[in-house]
Structure 1
Amino acid sequence: MSTQQTKPGCVFCNASAARGFNIVWEDDEFIAFSDRSPAAQHHVLLIPKRHIDSIKSLHQADVALVERMNEIGHSILDQLNVAKDLRRMGYVIPPFNSIYHLHLHVQGLPYTSALKSLMYQVSTGTGNNDKGFGWFVDIDQAIAILNKGHTVGVFAC
């Protein structure tokens, strides 16, 4: 995992209201802001303030970070009164992501269009795999994969 605090040229490093981000939640380690191009009725991006390239950069030692992001994401959706069955949280997997700074998509459905929903399709795993082929990993899948000592990728894992 990349452990540098910020990365030169990273759009999400040093995200702040002064830089045009609509901040919805923040603490010392994480910050959440409205997605500029929302795919769902509620669409927030939650990032660690410390630069981490992507979900592919994480390992078993990072499970606590992902679990904390899960807790924060649910807290944000609770504040927005999003029903449990209308929640989707996960990560787009490189090379299909648009920004190389770990960001959790925290969404309250419905999606704004069928086309936008395609980006966030969850591919269930079979056999020993928690996830099938796909460019989006649900946060619970990511936690299960990392807990097994594996890394998250586009292919089944």
Structure 2
Amino acid sequence: MFQKLFHWIVGKPQPPHYQLGNSQSCIFCRAYSTNRSDFDIVWEDEVFVAFRDIRPSAQDHIQLIPKTHIDSIKKLSQKDVNMLRRMEEIGHSILDTYNVPVSKRKMGFHIPPFNSIHHLHLHVQSLPYISPVHRLKYPFVRGFGGYEKGFSWFAEIGQAIRILEKGHRVTVAPC
């Protein structure tokens, strides 16, 4: 029972992908390659693609992914800060098209092992959440002391950028 609830909240574990580029076994890689019709694409350029989440947790729930296969936020380093800044900019642009007030926006990443798909994806959401249980999947935990983020399986986009700018890695533990 607990395992079913846990998998429902954070998703079932998926096998890791280590190569960059189009991974045929990665479902999100198909959003920009073979089975595009399986995705409700809402925005795209040469580097990123955004599509509606098939099981939305919020009023509007978009996944924004790079077209290069990157496993997760844990694989990023200081050299990836500009990519995250661009993802944040795109996320705000998408939410602007839905007229979502800034106070009702949430964007961030699940941190392995608490991500359901092993392809870097920014959750771009307009609140409210569909239910209190859905809200539990995206906890925002402020940092303390010299930490940007507290213990949490979710990192808000701004937190992730600040952590990487300092040369640290984004993890579940405070960072």
Q: For residues 61-100 of structure 1, what are the structure 2 equivalents within 5 Å?
A: 61-100=79-118
Partner of 1:57: 75
Equivalent residue, structure 1, for 2:5: none
| CA deviation profile, 1:77-123 (whole Å, cap 9, x unmatched) | 00010000000000000000000000000000000000000010101
CA contact (8 A) 1:14 1:49 kept: no
Give percent identity, aligned residues only.
Answer: 55
Equivalent residues of 2:30, 2:36 under 8 A apart = no
Deviation at 1:7, TM superposition (A): 1.6
Confirm or deny that 1:7 pairs with 2:23: yes
Answer whether contact 1:135 1:154 (CA < 8 A) is retained.
Answer: yes
In the TM superposition, what is the alpha-carbon distance from 1:6 to its structure 2 partner?
Answer: 1.1
- Secondary structure, aligned partner of 1:131: coil
How large is the RMSD of aligned CA atoms in angstroms? 1.2
Deviation at 1:19, TM superposition (A): 3.7
TM-score by structure 2 length?
0.87
**Matched residues, number:** 156
Specify every segment of 5 or more residues in structure 1 that has no aligned partner in the other structure, as ranges: none
Q: 2:121 aligns with which of 82, 103, 110?
A: 103
C-alpha distance in structure 1 between counterparts of 2:22 and 2:167, whole Å:
26
Report the equivalent of 2:132.
114
Q: Could you give the per-residue CA deviations for residues 44-75 of structure 1, whole angstroms, max 9, x where no partner exists?
A: 00000000000000000000000000000000
Greater alpha carbon shift after TM alignment, 93-102 vs 3-12: 3-12
Q: CA deviation at 1:148?
A: 0.1
Amino acid at match of 2:112: P
Q: Give the TM-score normalised by the residue count of structure 1.
A: 0.96
